[in-house]
Amino acid sequence: MTLASGLLPVVLGVVILYMQAERALKHSAEHTAEEAIQQFELMLDNTAQSARELLPLAGQRCLDVNFALREQVTRRPFVRSTNLVWDDTIYCSSLFGDVNEKTSSGNYDGGRLLLMKGNPVTPDTAFLVYRLGEGKRGAMSTLDGYHLSNVLRMIGSHTLLVLQVGPNWLSADNQFHEGALPDFPVAQTQLDSSRYAFGVKAGFPEGETWRYMSSEYPALFSLLIFFGAVSALIGHLLQMRSTSPTHEMKRAMEAMEFVPYFQAVVHGDTKKVSGTEVLMRWNHPKEGLVRPDLFIPFAEHSGLIVPMTRSLMQQTAVLLGPLSASFREPFHIGINITASHCQDLELISDCREFLAQFAPGSIHLVLELTERELIEPTPLTHQLFEQLRELGVKIAIDDFGTGHSSLGYLRQFNVDYLKIDQSFVAMIGVDALSGHILDTVIELALKLDLAMVAEGVETQEQSDYLTAHNVNFLQGYLYGRPMPGAEFISALSVD
């Protein structure tokens, strides 16, 4: 995730820069080709002019016109030599005077170009011939390849450039070639002159795009790296946030993944259902059912315990509220509350709203407070418990015997029930000493004149013992495991 969010802007940016560089190189190649064509046309204008001026002289004796031929070579820049043709034969040359050399037949009307490898005087220097013809007359001016390759080299200092004339071509190193033109891997461009029969091909060597990018966009590259780093950081933080327990629980709450399970509480004597304890479960999409011990501490820590309990109470009211008219005696509904929850007067309105969804007097709402974390007696908590009492809400001390509440403490908060911790119930029938401890706990509750609920009743022996010792209510697997709402309701209607 961090890597992806860091790489994405960099990769995207590089792709965009690459495309931008390719466009720039294409543009540059076209521009270079155009400039080269202009230069060659300028040179050919000179050459063509000399041939045009000499054409009318063709047919005259070489001795008489030789001076005119040399004058053109001297006066015209780029012109290397001039020749006159009569009847397909070169008969007069600015260099040698009288010659006799067969040339290809044809009418060079309008001028024609021929790129040649060299001649007997300079066999290794390519040259370009401009041929003009009219009937038997002909005039030729030659342009030295040296000037042409200079242009190719100088205009295309970063660009690969070649000059193409018919089937032949000239490279920047002044070499004559025949046959197919070379392939340029990057930004290949071919342009033909509109005025003379030649063309130019431009392009760049392999890897030029990357070279161009690294030399032209270093600032943009730094910016990309910076964006990548910022984006990676944001991605990292987002991921941290989404995987933090608080964020995960907020998500779960919005997705209504915290659901109530119900465990029956029965009368000690008749074993008839007297009520239920609501136990929170996290119906996690990946982990399955999660027990509250694993997430309640996080919920308290992140301050989510209040809205989570509120949601649990609302769901309970929606499930059990419609049944309440049929309850023959007040049905006990136990809700587990943490000490931190008691620092908030909102608990009162939550309880009021809860009670409003049941037929009047049809239930007893019991708030179960574990003895392991005692509530600080402050003016706020006194106000809270007073108002709860006015609403008719009952208080139970959960896990009784495992904590250290004093007599004064139990009186201060007007406790109604003690829930004897299941560890004491498990002692029944084990040995004399354990039995004695349980007896002492029961005795204490009787002396305080508080109703008792024994938790974790699993065997008939435990049930019989607790009934014989006047424990008012029993709760445990023997009577029912915690179960989903629909299941609990159908079990209730069977009773």
Write the binding mask 366 to 395 for ligand G: x where contact by CB under 6 A, - elsewhere. Answer: --x---------------------------
Judged by CB under 6 A, the chain residues 268 through 307 that form the site for ligand G are 279-280, 291-293, 296
Name the residue among 203, 178, 150 with its Cα closest to residue 22.
203
Cβ at position 398, least distance to Mn ion in Å: 4
Cβ at position 7, least distance to Mn ion in Å: 51
Is residue 480 a contact residue for ligand G (CB under 6 A)?
A: no
From 289-297, 355-363, 391-399, 461-469, give the range in contact with Mn ion by CB under 5 A: 391-399
Is residue 368 a contact residue for Mn ion (CB under 5 A)?
A: yes
Q: Which of helix, strand or coil describes residue 53? A: helix
CA 267 – CA 191 distance, rounded (Å): 102
Two structure tokens written together for 327: 């309850």
Cβ at position 3, least distance to Mn ion in Å: 46
Angle value at C-alpha 303, between 414 and 455, nearest 5 degrees: 45
Label residue 172 exposed, middle or buried (CB < 10 Å: 0-12, 13-18, 19+): buried
Judged by CB under 6 A, the chain residues 415 through 474 that form the site for ligand G are 419, 422, 455-458
Is residue 484 a contact residue for ligand G (CB under 6 A)?
A: no
Please give the size of the binding site for ligand G, defined by CB under 6 A: 23
Instruction: Give residues with Cβ within 8 angstroms of 377, minimum separation 6.
Output: 409, 412, 413
Name the residue among 108, 109, 113 with its Cα closest to residue 192.
113
Q: For 345-431, where are the alpha helices, taking DSSP H only?
A: 346-356, 379-391, 407-412, 422-425
Residue 398 dihedral angles phi and psi, to the nearest 5°: -85, 155
Instruction: Give residues with Cβ within 8 angstroms of 476, minimum separation 6.
Output: 422, 425, 454, 455, 456, 457, 458, 462
Query: C-alpha distances in angstroms, 333 versus 85, 108, 364, 400, 439?
Result: 123, 114, 6, 18, 27
Q: Specify the residue, 159 or 475, whose C-beta has the smaller distance to Mn ion.
A: 475
Q: Specify the residue, 72 or 475, whose C-beta has the smaller distance to ligand G.
A: 475
CA 294 – CA 284 distance, rounded (Å): 12
194-204 CB burial, b ≥16 within 10 A, e <16 = eebebbbbbbb
Is residue 249 a contact residue for ligand G (CB under 6 A)?
A: no
Residue 186 dihedral angles phi and psi, to the nearest 5°: -120, 135
**Member of 268, 398, 410, 421 binding Mn ion (CB under 5 A):** 398
From 79-87, 145-153, 329-337, 422-430, give the range in contact with Mn ion by CB under 5 A: 329-337
* Residue with smallest beta-carbon separation from ligand G: 476
Q: Specify the residue, 53 or 368, whose C-beta has the smaller distance to ligand G.
A: 368
Cβ at position 429, least distance to ligand G in Å: 15
Is residue 399 a contact residue for ligand G (CB under 6 A)?
A: yes
Q: Specify the residue, 293 or 376, whose C-beta has the smaller distance to ligand G.
A: 293
292 contact, one of Mn ion, ligand G, none, CB 5-8 Å limit per kind: ligand G
Cβ at position 422, least distance to ligand G in Å: 6
From 44-52, 217-225, 396-404, 427-435, give the range in contact with Mn ion by CB under 5 A: 396-404
Q: Specify the residue, 181 or 319, whose C-beta has the smaller distance to ligand G.
A: 319
Name the residue among 302, 373, 299, 386 with its Cα closest to residue 345.
386
Total length of the chain: 495
Name the residue among 118, 96, 5, 111 with its Cα closest to residue 49.
111
Q: Specify the residue, 272 or 291, whose C-beta has the smaller distance to ligand G.
A: 291
371 contact, one of Mn ion, ligand G, none, CB 5-8 Å limit per kind: none
Whether residue 444 contacts residue 415, with contact meaning beta carbons closer than 8 Å, is answered with: no
Q: For 349, how many CA atoms within 13 A lie in the half-sphere containing its CB?
A: 5
**Member of 83, 94, 231, 336 binding ligand G (CB under 6 A):** 336
Is residue 476 a contact residue for ligand G (CB under 6 A)?
A: yes
Is residue 338 a contact residue for Mn ion (CB under 5 A)?
A: no
111 contact, one of ligand G, Mn ion, none, CB 5-8 Å limit per kind: none
Q: Contact positions toward Mn ion, by CB under 5 A? A: 336, 368, 398
Q: Contact positions toward ligand G, by CB under 6 A? A: 263, 279-280, 291-293, 296, 309, 312, 336, 338, 368, 398-399, 419, 422, 455-458, 476-477, 482
